[in-house]
């Protein structure tokens, strides 16, 4: 498994306030919403009955967990309450957390980025404004800090500003950068990125892409050209196709994921902007309803505000 951080996630990192602390503060809005509502419900009941389950169901659905996953979670919860002979409503919360965790874990094979063996190529896709370029900057920084040789390719050639923005991130993260002029063919940029990666013995090539999602066939055409180049020119590279989604868009993020999943073999999701939203529950829907592994999460705009996704710590952070 690729060692994402130099430090263990559980170990306190005093300099930046600790990874778990940052996760908790990044998820504060979701926690406030989800956890408070659940506690209000549980404290309002004297026993565990059907009405309590219905109320919990409403909270999950309103937190963008999705109707399908919510049904499964509540069904599982009912069974485990029965099996464990739980009569105190306050004990239901831990069981609910366990249900969500186990459903998430069994819905995907792994939440780890698969970047080895090197060389590897990471294609970053998603609609405009979700945080692709920012996330690439954060990833580049993180990979570089773990000792990797990284190169980024500016495959969003639609606006000059997008190329400049990525160049700025490459400067900040201290990694190399390949770009063409505004308006040039994105596939040609990726081609050059691959040649440069080979020549420079790069471990990880990260490619930005344009996010103009006019319609499905347009999206398919743009991505296909890039996929063909990568397959032809970098056949043996380990590949990740990461879909970036803005958590704040809730159901919209789910819809975008459906479209991209139909078009491309998405290997993972990066869920951004969790710090500004109470809709963190979309992570549960993405992973359990669409079987898309969340691989990383964005919890702020700074260069170190990107974390590997881990079911246990994520669910603990939104419930405790
Ligand atoms: N608060 C917050 N803002 C983010 C995060 N990720 C990206 N952004 C902001 O989202 C905006 C759009 O990001 P950008 O990378 O340009 O999106 P792109 O169009 O997909 O490349 C920028 O203002 C970023 O600073 C995050 O995790 N948290
Ligand atoms: Mg961009």
Ligand in nearest proximity to the CA of 158: 2
Interval 258-275 mean pLDDT: 95
**Distance (Å, whole) CA 223 – CA 264:** 8
Spacing of C-alpha 56 from chain mean position: 25
Residue-level pLDDT at 320: 86
Mention every residue, 6+ apart, whose C-beta is less than 8 A from residue 213.
127, 128, 219, 256, 259
My answer on whether omega of the bond before 117 falls inside 30° of 0, hence cis, is: yes
What is the pLDDT at residue 17? 58
Confidence of residue 309 (pLDDT cuts 50, 70, 90): very high
Residues in the chain, overall count: 320
pTM score, whole prediction: 0.94
**pLDDT average, residue stretch 109-132:** 96
Rounded to an integer, the average pLDDT of 217-235 is: 91
Atom 6 in ligand 1: which residue has the minimum CA distance?
131
User: Which CATH superfamily does the domain covering 26-107 fall into?
Assistant: SRP54, nucleotide-binding domain (1.20.120.140)
Atom of ligand 1 nearest to the CA of 137: 15
Mutate to test the pocket of ligand 1, among 132, 134, 162, 166 (most ligand atoms within 8 A of CB): 134
Closest ligand 1 atom to 136 CA: 15
Confidence (pLDDT) at 3: 53
- pLDDT beyond 90 at 159: no
Domain with CATH 3.40.50.300 in the chain: 120-266
Query: Which helix or strand (DSSP H or E) is residue 296 part of?
Result: strand 294-298
Give the residue-averaged pLDDT of 116-142: 97
Q: 237-261 burial by CB neighbour count: b if 16+ within 10 A, else e?
A: bbbbbbbbbbbbbbeebbebbebbb
Tokens 């879909």 appear where? 243
DSSP state of 51: H
Cα distances (Å, whole numbers) of residue 72 to 77, 134, 145: 8, 35, 40
Q: What is the mean pLDDT of residues 295-305?
A: 96
Cα 163 to averaged position of ligand 1 atoms, centre (Å): 15
Q: Which atom of ligand 1 lies at the shortest distance from residue 126's CA? A: 20
Distance 135 CA to ligand 1 centre (A): 7
Nearest ligand to the CA of 128 is: 1
Distance 291 CA to ligand 1 centre (A): 24
Pick 120-266's CATH classification: 1.10.3860.10, 3.40.109.10, 3.20.20.30, 3.40.50.300: 3.40.50.300
Q: What is the pLDDT of residue 12?
A: 44
Atom of ligand 1 nearest to the CA of 272: 27
pLDDT by residue (tens digit) across 59-106? 999 999 999 999 999 999 999 999 999 999 999 999 999 999 999 999
For atom 9 of ligand 1, which residue has the closest CA? 131
The atom of ligand 1 lying closest to the CA of 306 is 27
For the segment 208-232, the average pLDDT, to the nearest whole number, is: 86
Between residues 10 and 275, the one the model is more confident about: 275
The Cβ of residue 202 has, within 10 Å, a number of other Cβ atoms equal to 24
Q: Residues with beta carbon inside 6 Å of ligand 1?
A: 126, 128-134, 211, 244, 272-273, 275-276, 298-301, 305
Give the tens place of pLDDT for each residue, 2-40. 555 544 444 445 544 578 888 999 999 999 999 999 999
| Positions of CATH 1.20.120.140 in the chain | 26-107
- Listed residue (206, 211, 157, 146) closest to 177, CA to CA: 206
CA 157 to ligand 2 center in whole angstroms: 9
Q: Which residue among 213, 301, 304 has the greatest number of ligand 1 atoms within 8 angstroms of its CB, and so is best to mutate? A: 301
User: Which of 23, 131, 166, 280 is the best mutation target for the ligand 1 pocket, counting ligand atoms within 8 Å of the beta carbon and taking the most?
Assistant: 131
* Confidence band, pLDDT 50/70/90 cuts, at residue 165: very high
């Amino acid at each position: 498994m690729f060692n994402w951080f130099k430090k263990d996630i559980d170990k306190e990192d005093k300099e930046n306030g600790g990874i778990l602390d940052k996760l908790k503060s990044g998820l504060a809005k979701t926690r406030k919403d989800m956890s408070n509502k659940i506690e209000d419900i549980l404290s309002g009941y004297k026993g565990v009955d059907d009405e309590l389950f219905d109320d919990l169901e409403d909270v999950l659905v309103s937190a963008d967990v999705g109707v399908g996953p919510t049904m499964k979670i509540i069904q599982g919860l009912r069974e485990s309450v029965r099996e464990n002979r739980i009569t105190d409503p306050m004990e239901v919360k831990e069981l609910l957390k366990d249900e969500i965790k186990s459903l998430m874990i069994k819905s995907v094979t792994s939440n780890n980025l698969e970047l080895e063996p090197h060389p590897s190529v990471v294609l970053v896709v998603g609609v405009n404004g979700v945080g692709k370029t920012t996330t690439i900057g954060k990833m580049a920084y993180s990979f570089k800090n773990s000792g990797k040789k990284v190169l980024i390719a500016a495959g969003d050639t639609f606006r000059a500003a997008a190329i400049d923005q990525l160049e700025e991130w490459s400067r900040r993260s201290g990694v190399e950068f390949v770009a063409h002029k505004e308006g040039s063919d994105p596939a040609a940029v990726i081609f050059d990125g691959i040649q440069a990666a080979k020549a420079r013995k790069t471990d990880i090539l990260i490619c930005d892409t344009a996010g103009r999602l006019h319609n499905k066939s347009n999206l398919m055409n743009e991505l296909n050209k890039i996929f063909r180049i990568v397959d032809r020119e970098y056949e043996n590279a380990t590949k990740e196709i990461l879909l970036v989604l803005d958590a704040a868009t809730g159901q919209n993020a789910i819809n975008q994921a459906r479209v991209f999943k139909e078009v491309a073999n998405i290997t993972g999701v990066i869920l951004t902007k969790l710090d500004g939203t109470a809709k963190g529950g979309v992570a549960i829907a993405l992973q359990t309803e669409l079987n898309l592994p969340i691989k990383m999460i964005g919890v702020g705009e700074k260069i170190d505000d990107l974390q590997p996704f881990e079911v246990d710590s994520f669910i603990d952070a939104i419930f405790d």
